[in-house]
Structure 1
Amino acid sequence: MNKRPNLAAVAAAAGSTRRRDPEPAPPPTLEARELAIPRTRVGTKQIAAHFPEDVAWQLRALAVERKTTVQNLMAEALNDLFAKHGKPEVAPWSGRAGCPDGRGGATRRAASVEHDAPSSRRRRDAPPRPAL
């Protein structure tokens, strides 16, 4: 019986135009990994827990009703828990959605009072601004 020829050797000898497998990419450097992290997540740590599905739906519904995010609701709840146990309230939350500045809710709520005050720049017949 004849032995089959080695196809790889035949292709190499014939000068195959087939592309070779690309060299594996070097592992990402620390700098490349840092660039992959969104700026809003730098210096943070995820905290997770498992609850029944109804809890998740109720939490989302509450966020929609209050026009905020689940993230802000969780921060508010954690700060309430910390205060209950005499710990500093360190979880940053904005008190409203879309405020990634990381300042506490008290700072944001106090600033929103200024927006409710009458302004000489606003027209007298302009509708009142919505509460934040």
Structure 2
Amino acid sequence: MSRKPSFANLRDRAAPVAQIPPIASTEDKAPRPASREGRKQIAGFFTPDMSLAMHMMARRQGRSLQALMAEAFNDVLRKYGESPVGE
């Protein structure tokens, strides 16, 4: 039966140098889809129950989650006396 190799002999070896990939420039990025031009992302973290409820509501209404969120944001704006912005 063979013995397990000893890792003691690895102590004296130099650690390998990590290769850091070059940072991609803005020219390397894919163009933004036309549907996102002139728009800015708004994101949040919600409970799984809230996520499921919103996705199910969107499905039942035949609308996108983004459309429901735009409606909700406009309702909040109205509630606090601001003009709704639309989608």
Number of residue-to-residue matches in the alignment: 65
Q: Percent identity?
A: 34
Runs of 4+ in 1 over 3 A off after TM superposition: 26-29
User: Structure 1: which 5+ residue stretches go unaligned?
Assistant: 1-23, 93-132
TM-score by length of 1: 0.45
Q: Hey, what does 1:86 align to over in structure 2?
A: 81
Structure whose alpha-carbon radius of gyration is higher: 1
CA RMSD of aligned residues (A): 2.0
Q: Hey, what does 2:39 align to over in structure 1?
A: 44
Could you tell me how far 1:91 is from its partner in structure 2?
3.3
Could you tell me how far 1:28 is from its partner in structure 2?
4.3
Residues 52 and 39 (structure 1), Cα distance of their counterparts in 2 relative to 1, 3 Å cut: same
Could you tell me how far 1:77 is from its partner in structure 2?
0.2
User: Structure 2: which 5+ residue stretches go unaligned?
Assistant: 1-21
Q: Deviations over 1:43-88 (max 9, x none)?
A: 1111111111110010000001111110010000000000011111
> In the aligned structure 1, how far is the partner of 2:37 from the partner of 2:69?
18
Letter of the 2:42 partner, please give it: I
Q: Hey, what does 2:49 align to over in structure 1?
A: 54
Q: How does 1:96-115 map to 2 (within 5 A)?
A: none
